[in-house]
Amino acid sequence: MNEPWRDYLRLGLNHHLLFPASFESIEVHRHSLPEVLSYPEFEVIDMFLANDAKIGMEEAELVISSTREPIYNCPLMIGPARNPHSPDPAIRRDTLEEVIAHLLRAHEIGARKAVIASGVNPGEALFAEQTAYFVDYVIALCQAVPGMEVLIEPFDRSIGKNLLIGSTMEAADVVRRVQERGQPNSGLLIDMGHIPLMGETFAGALQAAKPYVRHIHLGSCVMSNPANPLYGDMHPPWGYEDGENDVPELIEFLRQLFEIGYLGGESKPTVTLEMRPYPDMSERQSVDIFLGKLDEAWRAL
C-alpha cells in the first residue's frame, strides 16, 4: 500500500495499558494521561476517567482541551458484587448504575463511543438465561445515554478473562437482539489480541462481526507458555516472547479489515493500539516500535 495509513484510519492509543500501573495507582493514572495526550501521532485515545471526583474532573478537562477523540473503555464488571448478568437482581441493578455513571462521564468529555463487556462466564447450563439478562443490560445502557454508541468487546472463555461473551458470533447475536429491540446505538469492538485466545481466526471473527463492528483494538496475547508473566489476556506488545501476534499477523488482520469493508470505505474509522510497553523500554520508545511495525505491515498490504 503506497498511501499512508493516516489516509484510511484514525489511530488511537490506549492510555491505561501503556501505563498498566495506572490500574492500581490513581496517581500514575493522573500523571501519565498528559503524556499520552501529547503524542502527536494519535487522533484518538482509549481511556477511562480515574474513580475519584477531583482527579476525574482534572482528567476530564485535560481530555476536553486536547484535540483527541476519547473512546471511553468502561472497567470490567467482574469484581465483588458486580456482574451485568448476575441471577441476583440487586447486583444487576448496582452494576447497571455504576456503568451508566461511567457512560454519563464519557458523554461529558465528548466521547461518542464507549466500550463495555459481559461479566464472568457462569458455565454452559446458565448461558442462555444470563445472555438474556445481558441483552437487557445493553438495552438499558443504550437507553440511558442515547447519543453514545455502546460497543461490546468479546473476550475469551479460555485461559484469559473467561467471560460470558464469548465467541464473536455470540457477541454479534447479542447486538442483533439489542438492535431488534429498537437500540441502533449498539455495536462491537474487535480486539486482535483476543482472537487467538477465543480460538478463532481473524477472517472468521471479522466476518461474524462485520455488520456491527465500530472500533478495533490492535495487540497480542500469550498462549503457549503458562510460565510467561503475561500468559493469557495481558496485552503484551507485538513480537513479545511467546506472544501470538507480530507484523505477519498484523498484515493478515489489516487485510481482513479491508475485506469486511471496515477499512477502505468513505469514512476513516478508529483503530487503537492497546499494548503494554516492552520490558526494559520506556512507553515512548515502545510506541515508536508499535508505529514502526504498523508502517511495516501497511507497506506490505
Cell of 195: 482472537
Q: How far is the CB of 245 from Zn ion (least distance, A)?
A: 13
Q: Which residues pair with 11 in a beta bridge?
A: 271
Cβ(216)–Cβ(189) under 8 Å?
A: yes
Residues 6 or more apart whose CB falls under 8 angstroms from that of 140 comprise: 96, 100
Q: How far is the CB of 205 from Zn ion (least distance, A)?
A: 13
Our CB check for Zn ion shows the closer of 235 and 293 to be 235
Our CB check for Zn ion shows the closer of 91 and 263 to be 263
Our CB check for Zn ion shows the closer of 91 and 114 to be 114
Our CB check for Zn ion shows the closer of 149 and 191 to be 191
DSSP 217: E
Rounded CA-CA distance 158/193 in Å is: 13
Rounded CA-CA distance 38/35 in Å is: 5
Our CB check for Zn ion shows the closer of 249 and 274 to be 274
Our CB check for Zn ion shows the closer of 135 and 152 to be 152
Angle at 116 between CA 125 and CA 16, to 5 degrees: 125
H/E element, 98: helix 89-108
Q: How far is the CB of 153 from Zn ion (least distance, A)?
A: 6
Cβ(119)–Cβ(131) under 8 Å?
A: no
Measured CA distances, 282 to 15, 144, 285 (Å):
14, 40, 5
Our CB check for Zn ion shows the closer of 135 and 189 to be 189
Cβ(297)–Cβ(251) under 8 Å?
A: yes
Q: How far is the CB of 263 from Zn ion (least distance, A)?
A: 18
Q: How far is the CB of 214 from Zn ion (least distance, A)?
A: 13
Q: How far is the CB of 128 from Zn ion (least distance, A)?
A: 26
Q: How far is the CB of 73 from Zn ion (least distance, A)?
A: 7
Q: How far is the CB of 191 from Zn ion (least distance, A)?
A: 4
Rounded CA-CA distance 50/59 in Å is: 8
Name the site residues for Zn ion (rule: CB under 5 A): 191, 217, 274
Our CB check for Zn ion shows the closer of 139 and 190 to be 190
Following DSSP, what letter does each residue of 22-74 receive, concatenated? GGT-HHHHHHHHHHHHH-TT-SEEEE---SSHHHHHHHHHHHHHSSPEEEEEP
